[in-house]
């Protein structure tokens, strides 16, 4: 989305961690502006809150990969899976809260949740590459360059054994 398009280059320039923190501060501010001011200013604020939230998905994924440079698949799965899973559970809980306490209570809850996330982000350890969290990229030389990977894939294509041959037991 739009948030990712802008947040990625900002993270490259200023570091992932500062962009994550600024987003964590901007999001509740924008949602509170929507609640308190309303009208055109509120509509603009809530439209900007979306990219502020979504823009951090790629940043947290990269940070997770920096923390686990030899397990980037696990890092990606945990960061995205956790975010999406928590979002699904939160949607159901916020729906129940809206039924019980009303929409204004839910909107204030949504405005306050990023503050907790930002507080947790402030406790993140330094990344595996040194310096502040999310700054810089892993210089791990055990990861082959993309042209080596592409060459290896081309040399083994088409695959000798497909899922059909494996399942049928005819892997001669």
Closest CA to 14 of 48, 69, 54, 59: 59
Low-confidence ranges of the chain (pLDDT < 70): 126-172
Distance set, CA 65 to CA 33, 86, 120, 127 (Å): 34, 20, 18, 9
pLDDT at 11: 86
pLDDT at 151: 56
CA distance 40 to 168: 63
pLDDT at 159: 52
Reported as a single tens digit per residue, the pLDDT across 89-129 is 999 999 999 999 999 999 999 999 999 888 888 887 755 44
């Amino acid at each position: 989305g739009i948030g990712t398009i802008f947040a990625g280059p900002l993270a490259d320039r200023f570091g992932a961690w500062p962009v994550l923190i600024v987003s964590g501060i901007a999001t509740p501010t924008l949602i509170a502006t929507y609640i308190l001011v309303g009208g055109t200013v509120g509509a603009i604020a809530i439209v900007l809150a979306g990219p502020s939230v979504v823009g951090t998905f790629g940043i947290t994924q990269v940070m997770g990969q920096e923390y686990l440079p030899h397990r980037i698949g696990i890092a990606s799965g945990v960061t995205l899976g956790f975010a999406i899973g928590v979002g699904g559970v939160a949607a159901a809980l916020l729906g129940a809260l809206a039924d019980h306490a009303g929409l204004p209570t839910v909107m204030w809850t949504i405005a306050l949740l990023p503050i907790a996330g930002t507080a947790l982000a402030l406790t993140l350890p330094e990344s595996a590459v040194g310096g502040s969290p999310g700054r810089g990229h892993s210089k791990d030389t055990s990861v082959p360059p993309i042209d080596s990977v592409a060459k290896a894939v081309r040399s083994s294509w088409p695959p000798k054994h497909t899922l059909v041959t494996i399942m049928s037991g005819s892997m001669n």
